[in-house]
Amino acid sequence: MAHSFEDMFGRAVNLMAARMPPTPPETVDSFLTSPGLFYVRNHGPVPQVREDEIQDWEFSIEGLVENPMTLTLRQLMSEYEQVTYPITLVCAGNRRKEQNQVRKSKGFSWGAAGLSTALFTGVVMSDVIRRARPLRGARYVCMEGADKLPNGFYGTSVKLNWAMDDNKGIMLAYKMNGEMLRPDHGKPLRAVVPGQIGGRSVKWLKKLIITNAPSDNWYHIYDNRVLPTMVSPDESANNPRWWYDERYAIYDLNVNSAITYPAHGERLSLIGLPENYRIKGYAYGGGGRRVSRVEISLDKGRTWQLSDINYPEDLYRGVNQQLYGGQLDMSWRESCFCWCFWSLSIKVSELKEADDILVRAMDEAMNIQPRDMYWSVLGMMNNPWFRVAIIKDGNLLQFEHPTQPALIPGGWMERVKSAGGDLTNGHWGEQFGGGGSAPIER
C-alpha cells in the first residue's frame, strides 16, 4: 500500500521566516497572507485553466438530490448572494516535522508555518445545495477536484449537516484577498471549510456529490486521518481496516500555538539590553472555537504566565459592507475562524535563568494543548506545548526551535536525539536530577 504520494508531491515552499509577519503582528496587514506567500499543499500537477475559460468553469451538484444541477462560475457569481470572510487555513501537517523527529511518519516535514489567512470571496455552500434539494437519507457532501492523481481525482467529504449550518461558514470561493484565485490555490473555484484541516477545502472544484455515506475516494480514506497512536506504519499497511474507520478521519483543527519570536537562531546579548524582551507567536482553535488564553512557562510547565492576545479577526466583526464583490457581515456569527497573535513581555533576567520557553493555548471549549505528543502514522495534528530551548553562551542567549522546516537541519529535537535523548518521555528528552543521568521512565 503506497502512501508515498505525500512525500513525492508535497509542496511547501514557504519557510517560517518568510511566512511569519516581519513586523509586530498587531496590524491587519500581517494578519492576512499575500497569495504569493500563502502556503501551498497540493497532491499532484496543478490543473491549468485559461483566463478566458474561467467564467465557463462548470461544476455539478448531484447524487441524493431532487434537482441535480450543473453550474458555471458565471452563474455562481451572478445568481447567488456573494460573501467575503477572513479565514485561516491550516494544513493537518502543520508542525509535523516534530513528529518525524520522534518517529518517521508518512508525511512531509512541515515546520510550524503550515497555515495562512486570507479574505475569501464566494458563495455560501448551503445556498447552492439547497437549490438542489437533498433527499431524505442524504448525510454527506462529497467534493471532487479536477486534479487527476495516481489514485483518481482528489476528493473527500464533510457532513451535509455541517455544510447546511451557516455557523460553520463553508464556502465555494473564487477570490483570495480580492484577486481571482491563483492556480496553486484552486483557480478558478475551490471549497473553503473554515475551522477544519486544509485537506477538506477541495481545490479546482468540479463536483459536489450528496451521499448517504462518507466519501470512498482514495484520498479521503488514506489521507487526513489520525490513526490510534499504537498503529505502526507496518500495521497500517497490513490492515486496511484502520483506514476505513471514519472515527479516525480528522475534520476540526485542534487547538495549537507556536512561538515566532525569539526566532530560531536568534541571539540576545545580555549586555546593554533593555530589561524586557517581548516573546510572540500565533495560536488557533478549531471548529470556530475562539482561543481563550495562551500561557507561557519558563520552568518546564511547573508554573505559567498569562500572555496578551490580539484578535485581528475582531476588527472585521463591526463592519457590514461590500468587500471584493461580496458582503462582509460577521455580526450574526459567534465563531472564530482565524488565527490570533499572542505576546508577553518577559524580564531578560528570567530568560537568563530558564532552559526553555514553553507555550500552550486553550480554546473556549476548554481544550488545551497537551504536554505529550500524540504520534500517529501520518504525523498529523501535532499540537503539544511548543518549546524553544535557550542555549547559554557567556553573555549571549541563543534560541533554538524544535525543528527547522522541510529538510533543513537544526533544532533542539535533532540535537537531543543525536545525543541519545528520549523524545517520547514528556520531558523533551532532557535528563533529570541536576546533571544526573537517570532516565525519566523506568
CA triple 171-172-175, angle to 5 deg: 105
- The minimum distance between CB 244 and a copy of itself, in angstroms, equals 14
Contact yes or no for 294/358 (Cβ under 8 A): no
**Annotated catalytic residue within 42, 100, 217, 223:** 223
Pick 272 or 436: Cβ nearer a copy of itself: 436
Pick 40 or 368: Cβ nearer a copy of itself: 368
According to DSSP, residue 30 is labeled H
Contact yes or no for 54/77 (Cβ under 8 A): no
Whole-angstrom distance, CA of residue 441 vs CA of residue 425: 7
CA triple 115-40-170, angle to 5 deg: 65
226 lies in the binding site for a copy of itself (CB under 8 A) = yes
**Pairing state of beta strands 276-284 and 256-261?**
antiparallel
- The minimum distance between CB 304 and a copy of itself, in angstroms, equals 6
367 lies in the binding site for a copy of itself (CB under 8 A) = yes
Single residue of 90, 143, 250, 359 touching a copy of itself by CB under 8 A = 250
- The minimum distance between CB 365 and a copy of itself, in angstroms, equals 4
Q: Which residue has the cell 464533510?
A: 158
Residue 245 annotated to the active site: no
**Annotated catalytic residue within 14, 42, 100, 224:** 224
Pick 184 or 246: Cβ nearer a copy of itself: 246
232 lies in the binding site for a copy of itself (CB under 8 A) = no
User: What b/e string do you get for 294-315 counting C-beta neighbours within 10 Å, with b at 16 or more?
Assistant: bbbbbebbeebeebebbbbbee
Pick 78 or 167: Cβ nearer a copy of itself: 167
Q: Choose the stretch contacting a copy of itself; rule: CB under 8 A; options: 29-37, 60-68, 296-304, 402-410.
A: 296-304
229 lies in the binding site for a copy of itself (CB under 8 A) = yes
Single residue of 218, 248, 261, 324 touching a copy of itself by CB under 8 A = 248
Phi, psi of 132, rounded to the nearest 5 degrees: -80, -15
- The minimum distance between CB 287 and a copy of itself, in angstroms, equals 6
Pick 71 or 253: Cβ nearer a copy of itself: 253
According to DSSP, residue 70 is labeled E
- Number of other CB atoms surrounding residue 394 within 10 Å: 8
Residue 223 annotated to the active site: yes
Q: Could you check whether the bond before residue 188 is cis, i.e. omega within 30 degrees of 0?
A: yes
255 lies in the binding site for a copy of itself (CB under 8 A) = yes
Single residue of 366, 407, 409, 418 touching a copy of itself by CB under 8 A = 366
- How many residues of this chain bind a copy of itself (CB under 8 A)? 61
Pick 251 or 337: Cβ nearer a copy of itself: 251
For residue 378, which of 226, 261, 183 has the smallest C-alpha distance? 226
Annotate 395-428 with DSSP letters as a single string: TEEEEE-S--STT---SHHHHHHHTT--TTSSST
Q: Which residue has the cell 461590500?
A: 322
Q: Choose the stretch contacting a copy of itself; rule: CB under 8 A; options: 64-72, 214-222, 390-398, 429-437.
A: 429-437
Residue 320 annotated to the active site: no
- Please report, in angstroms and rounded to a whole number, the separation of the first and last CA atoms in the chain: 37
- Number of other CB atoms surrounding residue 351 within 10 Å: 21
Binding site residues, a copy of itself, CB under 8 A: 139, 159, 161-162, 165, 167, 226, 228-230, 247-248, 250-255, 286-287, 289-290, 292-293, 295, 299-306, 332-334, 362, 364-372, 374, 381, 383, 424-427, 432-434, 436, 438, 440-442
* Residues that are catalytic: 91, 223-224
